[in-house]
Amino acid sequence: MGFEIFKDENGNPNSVHTWDGFMETSRPFDKERDGWMLDQLDPNDFPAIQIGRDMEYLVNEVNILRRQLFILKGK
């Protein structure tokens, strides 16, 4: 499941967008129902996670280029 909280001009949560792989929902933020979201860790706060994502991106790019090279060599 994923979620994104949207805040008003004062920084208070006012709406939330959720997705669970089947359905996406946007609705007003309800502290009783959605308060747990405010306590979740943000992966973007951890440099090692971003480094891993960058590495995954580079590996995917290299694999795309290797596939293209393989196809070109075959012709």
Q: Which residues contact 8 (CB under 8 A, 6 or more apart)?
A: 14
Query: In the chain, what is the greatest distance between 2 CA atoms, to the nearest angstrom?
Result: 62
Q: Half-sphere exposure of 61 toward its Cβ, with a 13 Å CA cutoff?
A: 6
pLDDT one-digit tens code per residue, 55-74:
999 999 999 999 999 999 98
Domain ranges within the chain, ordered by starting residue: 1-40, 43-75
Q: Which amino acid is at 51?
A: I
Task: Answer yes or no: is pLDDT of 75 > 80.
Answer: no
Q: Tell me 22's DSSP state.
A: S
pLDDT one-digit tens code per residue, 9-45:
999 999 999 999 999 999 999 999 999 999 999 888 9
* Residue linked to tokens 């920084």: 11
